Amino acid sequence: MVTTTVSKAATRTPSGAKANKPSHKAPKTSRALKVLKTSRGSPAAKGGTDVSYLEYFYQAPMRQIEMIRRGIPALTVKRIAGDLRIEQDILLRALNLSVATLNRKVAQAKNLPADESERIAGIARLVGQVEAMVKESGDPEGFNAAEWLSRWLREPLPALGGQMPIKLLDTMAGQALVSQALSRIQSGAYA
C-alpha cells in the first residue's frame, strides 16, 4: 500500500547517538499536518506520521489520487481548522461537509469518503501553495501560511468577481480558481 507518510530513518551521529533523518526529499516546513496511515476498514487512530502542507502541494498526482481514494482521516479536518484558526463550522460549511457526520467519523476514527477527502486535500494544498510562495520569495521565517490563507480566503477578491475565495472551496473547480488567484498574487498580477 502506498501511503502519504514520511518515514524516518535512524542514523548515527559522529558521537554514536541516534539521529532521525527524513528519508524523503520533500521540502520541510515548521507547520506540519498530522495525517494518519490508514487503509479502508482500519481505525484511523492507529499509527501515523507527519506530512507537511508543502508535501500536499508538491505531491505527485497519482499519490494524491491514492490518498483521496483511501480517504483522509476525519480528525485531519479538525487539525486543518485549528491550523487555519477558523471555526470548524465555517470551514465545514465552506467545504460542504456535515458537522454531525464529521463528528461521528472522528469519534469512530474513520476516514472521509473520496469526494470529501478531495476537498480537504485541496485546502491542505492551498496552504502548501502559500508556504511554497513565501519560501520562493526568500523569507518564510515566522510566517504562518495557514493563518494568512484563512484571512485572505474571507476577503472579497476583485479577480473573483468580488466574491470571497472561501465561497468557492466546495468544488474542485472553485479550488482551482482560488489556486490560480494565489499564483497571480505571486506573479504580481494582483496588487
144-183 per-position pLDDT tens digit:
999 999 999 999 999 999 999 999 999 999 999 999 999 9
Asked if residue 131 is part of any domain, the answer here is yes
DSSP 132-191: HHHHHHT--TT--HHHHHHHHHTS-BGGGTTB-GGGGTTSHHHHHHHHHHHHHHHHTS--
Residue 31 has pLDDT above 60, yes or no: no
Q: 190 falls in which pLDDT band (50, 70, 90)?
A: low
Q: What is the pLDDT of residue 161?
A: 93
What pLDDT, on the 0 to 100 scale, is given for residue 10? 38
Band of pLDDT at residue 139, cut at 50, 70 and 90 = confident
Hey, CA dihedral for 118, 102, 150, 48, is it positive or negative? Answer: negative
Question: Among residues 170, 114, 175, which one has the least CA distance to residue 149?
Answer: 175
Query: Is residue 52 assigned to a domain?
Result: yes
Residue appearing with cell numbers 492551498: 126
pLDDT tens by residue, 59-105: 999 999 999 999 999 999 999 999 999 999 999 999 999 999 999 99
The answer as to whether 1 is a domain residue is no
Domain count of the fold of the chain: 1
For residue 187, the model assigns a pLDDT of: 78
Residue 181 lies in a domain: yes
Structural domain for 114, as ranges? 27-140+154-187
Tell me if 149 is assigned to some domain: no
Residue indicated by cell numbers 502542507: 53
Q: What is the pLDDT of residue 57?
A: 95
Domain for residue 82, yes or no? Answer: yes
- Determine, yes or no, domain membership for 128: yes
Q: Please give the Cα distance from 28 to 82 (Å, whole number).
A: 20
* 131 pLDDT above the threshold of 80: yes
Mean pLDDT, the chain, integer:
78
Structural contact between residues 143 and 29, judged by C-beta atoms closer than 8 angstroms: no
- Cα separation, 95 vs 87, whole angstroms: 13
In a domain, 65, yes or no: yes
The pLDDT, as a whole number, for residue 90 is: 96
Q: How many CA atoms lie within 13 A of 105 on its CB side?
A: 23
Dihedral sign of CA atoms 5, 91, 149, 157 in order: positive
Highest mean pLDDT among 2-11, 20-29, 58-67: 58-67
